[in-house]
Structure 1
């Protein structure tokens, strides 16, 4: 069984994903929730693979289920496509919004 190699920084992720952040100053261990959320929402399979290598699969799955408070519907579907073991009914971001309509400006 191949052991996941953990990375030591997020420099391998596309900087376009973090257009509003100086990634050189980002403490990726403390900011793992917004990093994972941004990659789920806007990244592709290669970025998903990178966050799994960076944080570990279990931490990514637990973060998606228990810590990300909001993802748009399309990102929830993407998360399920990237991680087939996920169910939206187990995701906090889905439970927070399933019966509410969101009105944007």
Structure 2
């Protein structure tokens, strides 16, 4: 049985200006890729990563594996994926800017 290669998402290299786009490992680097697209991409880029990773993997990654997203990206994630609630997102629950009660 031969290995079936996934077709890479059609995403402009400008979204990954700080890395060598041609050497990007789409399988291993899925967390920073999904984060970057949530922060900077539009509906077309979201559609492309959904085609590549699948909606379920992206939602699970947002909920459990992304450690930080700026507030605007959390809001965008909920716009793109209405099933998400910020209170369930790891990146929201563990925010450094939440008020803390000091002893």
Residue ranges of structure 2 left out of the alignment (5+ in a row): none
What does the per-residue CA deviation read over 1:53-102, in whole Å, with 9 as the maximum and x for residues that have no partner? 0100000000000000000000000000010000000100000116259x
Q: Hey, which bits of structure 1, 4+ residues long, moved more than 3 A?
A: none
**TM-score, normalised with respect to structure 1:** 0.84
* CA RMSD between the two structures: 1.8
Q: Matched residue pairs, number?
A: 95
* Residues 1:84 and 2:100 aligned together: no
Q: Distance in 1 between matches of 2:6 and 2:73?
A: 24
What does the per-residue CA deviation read over 1:6-41, in whole Å, with 9 as the maximum and x for residues that have no partner? 94324x111111001111111110000000000000
Q: 1:73 to 1:24 in 2, by over 3 A?
A: same
**TM-score, normalised with respect to structure 2:** 0.86
Greater Rg, structure 1 or structure 2?
A: 2
Aligned partner of residue 56 in structure 2, secondary structure: helix
Aligned partner of residue 66 in structure 2, secondary structure: coil
